[in-house]
Structure 1
Amino acid sequence: MGTLTYDSKLTVALDDRVLAHLQAVIWSKLRRGEQFAFTWTDPMRSGLGRTSVWLSPHIPLAFEYFGSRAPRLNPAWIDALTKSANSPGGLTLVAEPEGGDGVT
């Protein structure tokens, strides 16, 4: 389980594999100077079921991984997450497409 920390104030625990795919999509958009919403569900956290944040190149964001090895990336999942991030609703976690073994 890794963590994504937003603006040094909000931290969410995510599986390293999920986190690696989110990082690829988020960094790609932020590198281009794009701002967008990111929403995730977290039913285990103090009764809060859903959180949304506005991602911008000007807001600190940290990705911390439990494991030392980078997970294999699935290009189809990155594409699905990117489509989600480019939608009016912003980035949401979508299920990994079948055959989830991609390239490193």
Structure 2
Amino acid sequence: MGTLVYGNSNLEIEFDDRVLAHLQAVIVAKLRRDEGFLFSWKDEPGVGDGRSCIWMHRSIPLYFKYPASQPPAVNRLWLEALTVSANSPGGLRIVEEPAS
């Protein structure tokens, strides 16, 4: 499991490495364009099994940590689907990975 660490409060959110790698690509692309956006995800049962949301902005510290040394393969179709989600009024949400 990879970890996204966000903000000075050191909010740590764990995601599967493959999911995190795709999220990283979409998040970094939007922040490079100076586009703030909402990011929401479904919480694990151990933290309440609800949903959480954060406002992503380039002024807030962001750190991606992966336990594996090799990055996972990237699915371009999934990047496109995640980007469409990130550009929507509801913000970035983790969507099903389409077959490549």
TM-score, normalization: structure 1? 0.91
Alpha-carbon distance between aligned partners in 2 of 1:76 and 1:66, rounded to the nearest angstrom: 25
| Pairing of 1:1-104 with structure 2 (within 5 A) | 1-8=1-8, 9-99=10-100
Q: 1:27 to 1:38 in 2, by over 3 A?
A: same
Measured after TM superposition, the shift of residue 48 of structure 1 is 4.7
Alpha-carbon distance between aligned partners in 1 of 2:58 and 2:16, rounded to the nearest angstrom: 24
Instruction: Mark the runs of 5 or more structure 2 residues left unpaired by the alignment.
Output: none
Alignment RMSD: 1.0
Aligned residues: 99
Alpha-carbon distance between aligned partners in 1 of 2:5 and 2:49, rounded to the nearest angstrom: 17
Q: 1 or 2, which has the higher strand percentage?
A: 1
Instruction: Mark the runs of 5 or more structure 1 residues left unpaired by the alignment.
Output: 100-104
Task: Give SS of 1:17's match.
Answer: helix
Identical-pair percentage: 55
Query: Which segments of structure 1 move beyond 3 Å, counting only runs of 4 or more?
Result: none
Task: Give SS of 1:45's match.
Answer: helix
Measured after TM superposition, the shift of residue 65 of structure 1 is 0.4
Q: Provide Cα deviations, 1:12-38, integer angstroms capped at 9, x if missing partner.
A: 111110000000000000001000000
Task: Give SS of 1:30's match.
Answer: helix
Alpha-carbon distance between aligned partners in 2 of 1:46 and 1:90, rounded to the nearest angstrom: 22
TM-score, normalization: structure 2? 0.94
Q: 1 or 2, which has the higher helix percentage?
A: 2
Structure 2 counterpart of 1:38, which letter?
Answer: F
